[in-house]
Amino acid sequence: MAMQSLLIILVVLAALLILGVPIAYAIGISALAAILQTVPLDVSVVTGAQRIFVGMSKFSLTAIPFFILAGNLMNQGGIAKRLVDFVMALLGRTPGALLVTNIGANALFGAISGSAAAAAAAVGSMVEQGEREQGYDPALCAATNGASAPAGLLIPPSNALITYSLAAGGVSVAGLFLAGYVPGVIWTLACMAAAVFFAFRKGYRGTRGGFDWKNLGMCTLRALPSLSLIVVVIGGIVGGVFTATEGSAIAVVYALVLGLCYRNITLRSFWNIVVESTRMSGMIVFLIGVSNILGWVMAFTQIPQAISAALLGLTSSPVVILLIMNVILLIAGTFMDVTPAILIFTPLFLPVVRSFGMDPIQFGLILVYNLCIGNITPPVGNTLFVAIKVGRSSLSGVMPYMLGYYLVILLGLLLLTYVPVVSLGLPRLAGLL
């Protein structure tokens, strides 16, 4: 019955997505279709409504709308230019300085805003004019901007990691946040290495002259209030001063005060930010509620156990099983957004990795890392297409460079998958494991 239910879910879900049905409705309808083979229609509908309510009534969900609002406030708060100036002052002498600056600023801005697409749009717009003036290849610039933007989704505070915590049944958010730093840095450094390689081949040079410590000091002071958001929120959560939910509310207050001090947020823009954040939060929370039906159906029909038995039946090697999972997640990530993919694949694969002793925190980072790659991979690849638009380039021009970035990013994925200390080192040092 398990495999039959899984087949129904996949077929119905794929058909509805092809027809253009919103992902939340598609997930709910496919789950109900699977359960109808064993439960009457009236019972399944009532059960589905109950599971949506249960899924949406978790107090920890409050953190997601708050972090979204904080991110949107920071997007409008004038911090992108300060971060670009800071990274440029720090790394300006590196070959291909503007490319490296783009990557570093994307990591910082994406972590603060919680959106890879927002980072690609904001930071890409800031460096685009300078890159053109210095004769940089627009396709290379767009590829660099798109490839590096998802690093911020791994560096906390991260809505993707909060969503995974909920889908995994309450995995420590503080542990996930700490675990995200090293993979996020690996992604960033991998992109920087590829950018420097491309810069050498193109003959791009960094700024000349000695290191300007005075300029670095001024740029650091201007960027410090924005960077402090990460320190305040994550430090408080990890240190046990406040919970992730309380930290998200503090992030909103901090971002609002910062935006007002920078004089980039007016009453009208604040209202627009609240409306947009409410719309986005409603979609995500409803999606989480509907996915709770899918989780219940999977548990009822024992789909995770069947998948685990099937994978373990193919091979007993955790190395091979993890490789198969990565391939599946990479493919799925090319046509699914991060949030629904987390909600679908967590209950499928988490029991499998737990069967051979993998920590749920490590699997959560592997899952999010895979889906971040999908964020910059056609045919969906929202962040990649934002970068192409901002960089005034084309997909055909960008893809040759993207292949180089994919290579180094995938090497980071292998490191994260097969070397547990990459994700678990910091949580262990902090005593969270």
pLDDT of amino acid 248: 83
Q: Is residue 15 part of a domain?
A: no
User: How many domains, the chain?
Assistant: 1
Q: How many CB atoms lie within 10 A of CB 307?
A: 19
φ, ψ of residue 282 in degrees (nearest 5)? -60, -40
Q: Is residue 6 part of a domain?
A: no
Closest CA to 141 of 126, 124, 117, 123: 124
pLDDT of amino acid 3: 75
Please tell me what DSSP assigns to residue 377.
Answer: S
Which amino acid, one-letter code, is at 154? L
pLDDT of amino acid 210: 60
Q: Is residue 296 part of a domain?
A: yes
Q: Is residue 53 part of a domain?
A: no
Residue-wise burial string across 248-258, b where 16 or more C-beta atoms lie within 10 A, e elsewhere: bbbbbebbbeb
Q: Is 263 left (phi over 0), alpha (psi -120 to 50) or beta?
A: left
Q: Is residue 39 part of a domain?
A: no
Contact 363, 318 (CB under 8 A): no
Q: Is residue 168 part of a domain?
A: yes
Q: Give pLDDT tens digits along the chain (433 positions).
A: 677 877 888 888 888 878 888 877 888 888 888 887 777 776 777 777 887 787 777 776 777 788 888 877 877 766 777 888 888 888 877 888 889 999 998 888 888 777 788 888 888 888 887 888 888 999 999 999 999 999 988 988 888 898 899 889 889 999 999 999 999 999 999 999 999 999 999 888 776 656 677 888 898 898 888 888 778 887 888 777 888 788 888 888 888 888 888 777 888 888 988 898 888 888 878 877 887 787 777 777 777 777 777 777 788 889 999 999 999 899 888 877 788 889 888 988 998 899 889 999 999 999 999 999 988 998 767 888 889 988 888 989 999 999 999 999 999 999 999 999 999 999 999 888 7
φ, ψ of residue 295 in degrees (nearest 5)? -60, -40
Closest CA to 407 of 83, 88, 191, 103: 191
- Residue 181, CB-side half-sphere exposure with 13 Å CA sphere: 14
Helix, coil or strand: residue 378: coil
pLDDT of amino acid 59: 73
Cα–chain center distance at 152: 7
pLDDT of amino acid 1: 62
Give the separation between CA 187 and CA 375, rounded to whole angstroms.
Answer: 14
Domain that holds residue 311: 60-429
Token pair recorded at residue 18:
């092809």
Closest CA to 353 of 388, 416, 389, 304: 304
Q: Is residue 43 part of a domain?
A: no
